[in-house]
Amino acid sequence: MPYDRTFNWEPSRRWVRGYKGAVAVVDSRAAVLVWEPGHPVPRYAFPEADVRTDLLRPAENPPAGTHEGATRFFDLVVDGEVAYNAAFEYPDLPGYLSLEWFQRAEPVLDRWLEEEEEIFVHPRDPYKRVDPIPSSRHVRIEIGGQVVADSREPVLLYETGLPTRYYIPPKDVNFDLLVPTDTHTRCPYKGQASYWSLREPVEGVPADVAWAYPDPIPAAAAIKDHVAFYNEVVDIVVDGVKEERPVTLFTTRLAEN
């Protein structure tokens, strides 16, 4: 896995396209994956010839000190709509352009494809695995002393860098204790999630504590409609043994909700 304190890049053999509306701004079979220091997920950079540079103009107000010292920034103009600082060049990758993708309030492009599959949020990391495996373990989820789910048919999802997530079949979840919310998130490895909060709030348990993927991507089909809970804030008992609550990249955010 690329070291997270240095600038790394490697070729990708995937055909990558990015669209603004119906306009293909990027169409490349020679993309490279780039890992910036301190960023846990990669982004793509593309040969300039594979980017619609006719839609780019020098940035009016380029940001300083971002993207490993990039000094060349470009605004993207499509059908009169401007996305500022949408593209940039890494000093260590001359001749390649990267487009802003994630961590922006408004996305630069509307749609990204790897081959014919739409991808969300950020490129999938080839060094990260997401393995949903059906199990016969006995898993019980408790919140505030109440049993919210109890199953001997969970799907255990093993994801690099995260604790095991226990996805429970809907028949084994007590939905009387939950209420659906309007929250939706996207994951590049699983798809779009829908959420539930507790019907009766419990101190220390945030909103949107449970989620499911009604229409997961094919690689995660085993978790379809199954419900998972944040291990960080609920009690999970597996085969009679209560698990410790892990500290993860979600812990701080959950504490703030």
pLDDT value of residue 220 = 95
Question: Full-prediction pTM beyond 0.95?
Answer: no
> Rounded to the nearest 5°, which phi and psi values hold at 171?
-65, -15
- Domain ranges for the chain: 8-119, 130-256
Tell me whether residue 18 is exposed, middle or buried, using C-beta atoms within 10 angstroms of its C-beta: 0 to 12, 13 to 18, 19 or more.
buried
* DSSP characters over 156-182: EEEETTSPPEEEBPGGGB-GGGEEEEE
pLDDT at position 64 = 85
d(CA 109, CA 88): 14
H helices present in the chain, as ranges: 251-256
Fold of 130-256: 2.170.150
Q: 8-119: which CATH number, 1.10.15.40, 2.170.150.40, 3.40.50.360, 3.40.50.300? A: 2.170.150.40
From first to last of the 257 residues of the chain, give the pLDDT tens digit: 565 678 999 999 999 999 999 999 999 999 999 999 888 889 999 999 999 999 999 999 999 888 988 989 999 999 999 999 999 999 999 999 999 987 777 889 999 999 999 998 899 999 999 999 999 999 999 999 999 999 999 999 999 989 999 999 999 999 999 999 999 999 999 999 999 999 999 998 999 999 999 999 999 999 999 999 999 999 999 999 999 999 888 888 888 77
Own/partner pairs, 217-223, CB within 8 angstroms, 24+ separation:
217/117, 217/189, 217/190, 217/191, 219/130, 219/189, 220/130, 220/132, 220/157, 220/189, 220/190, 220/191, 221/132, 222/132, 222/133, 222/134, 222/155, 222/167, 223/132, 223/155, 223/157, 223/167, 223/190
What is the pairing mode between strands 235-238 and 8-11?
Answer: unpaired
pLDDT value, residue 9: 95
